[in-house]
Structure 1
Amino acid sequence: MRSLGRRNIGDGLHNFLGGLSIAGVFLLDRRLGIAAWLAAAAHEVPQELGDFGVLVHGGWKKRTALLFNLMSRLTFPVGGLVAYVASLQLDVRWLVPLAAGNFLYIGASDLVPEVNKAHSLKANLLHFVVFAAGLGLLFAIAVVGGH
């Protein structure tokens, strides 16, 4: 039960950093902020549902698990508010690489281990092709955007 509480604190910190980084992206470019927020939501919604299930399966009452999960989720807008207030006095452009690193972390910690479970050549080839297509898309966006 104690390790589940630590997991919830870690999730709260993860959400706070996500709020900081997404707000930083919004402060620089609204369209890019929307894209980053959608990417974060695509990760966070299933993760939070899974966290709730882990807490309940770990012996927590549903009401308690929901309360702790909600408290953890509320750190996301707190991080966003901190980034906004900080932007009034400081340059917050460094939050954009933080957001990028956050998404790289998600890919490396959540997605890559699942890819490594595939044992067939066909599955491995498909994963490589999709990965290469993603890199190609990033490169094309950078070229078209002139960066």
Structure 2
Amino acid sequence: MSVILNAIISVIIVSLVSLVGIFSILLRKKNTQKFLLLLVSLSAGTLFGGAFLHLLPEVVADHGFTIQISLLVLAGVMAFFVLEKFIHWGHCHHHPAFDFLHSHKHSTEKNHHHHEKENPKSQIAVLNLLGDGIHNFLDGLVIAGSYLVSPAAGIATTIAVVIHEVPQEIADFGVLLYAGLSKKNALLLNFASATISILGAVVGLWLGSNSDTFIPFILPFAAGGFLYIAGSNLVPELHKKCDVAIESFWHFVMMIVGIGLMYGLTFLG
């Protein structure tokens, strides 16, 4: 019963993170971008740490390091690559989405005029919500699967997902505003998409209770997803601004903090 309760509480917390987008409007553009890049650094560290220090060790300890495990990690990488292609993930992680929160007309006309010809704004909103819903469903599956393995793995996975979701949800909120939605509707739709993680957790708990193959599948698959997001989306974002040495130093520090946080959670047992 505690596993079910912990998993459901965790995905509810993850869903509530979607509401942080509204607060980004209250911050100055310069401060928002600096804050987001620190969060991106921390997120990259927690995702790398979650994959290498929790998900993979758990599945290898129970099933050994096999070719099948490696293939499932690669399957996770490729699945998130396909998902990214489907929803044009660039809108979610690149700064134009963040810029829009502060400069509507200028950023819209200058940065997105060509894109609008190929992708109407309404299509951008639909693709973003659909892709984000799939992503959130997978988050729920992974969190549930992690709690079925151990409390430490569940907590570590939840923290990694939450930290990653903060900059992600702020960017998603910006994309929905760019698509023409009001602040209220953008916030509500983004939250509705986030709650799909609860469904994912319920499905994950059911699969874990009725199938012996769910845990050996979901953990390496999730590790591949974590590695793809951190390596393909988050780290490249940090390389876009390398003219200030002190900022690069703090990005490195925050990545180490994220990895250290995941390492500390290994002692929970």
TM range (shorter): 0.7 to 0.9
Q: Give the alignment partner of residue 10 of structure 1, picking from 113, 131, 134.
A: 131
Aligned equivalents of 2:249 and 2:184: distance in 1? 42
Q: Percent identity?
A: 40
TM-superposed CA distance for 1:100, in Å, is 1.1
Q: Give the alignment partner of residue 43 of structure 1, picking from 150, 159, 164.
A: 164
With structure 2 as the length reference, what TM-score do the two structures score? 0.45
Equivalent AA in structure 2 for residue 117 of structure 1: K
TM-superposed CA distance for 1:116, in Å, is 3.4
| Structure-1 residue corresponding to 2:238 | 115
Aligned equivalents of 2:159 and 2:152: distance in 1? 11
Equivalent AA in structure 2 for residue 52 of structure 1: F
RCO higher in 1 or 2 (8 Å CA, sep ≥ 6)? 2
Q: Return 5+ residue gaps in structure 1 as ranges.
A: none
TM-superposed CA distance for 1:126, in Å, is 5.7
| Structure-1 residue corresponding to 2:143 | 22
Q: Give the alignment partner of residue 57 of structure 1, picking from 178, 198, 203.
A: 178
Pairs aligned (count): 140
Tell me the SS of whatever aligns to 2:210. coil
Query: Alpha carbon RMSD of aligned pairs, Å?
Result: 3.0
| Structure-1 residue corresponding to 2:221 | 98
Q: Return 5+ residue gaps in structure 2 as ranges.
A: 1-121
> Which whole-Å deviations, capped at 9, do the CAs of 1:24-57 have from their partners, x for residues lacking one?
1110111111011001000112211221122113
Kindly report structure 1 stretches of 4+ aligned residues shifted beyond 6 Å: none
- The 8 Å contact of residues 26 and 34 in structure 1, kept in 2 or not, is answered as yes
Shift of the 49–2 alpha-carbon distance from structure 1 to 2, 3 Å rule, reads same
- The 8 Å contact of residues 124 and 179 in structure 2, kept in 1 or not, is answered as no
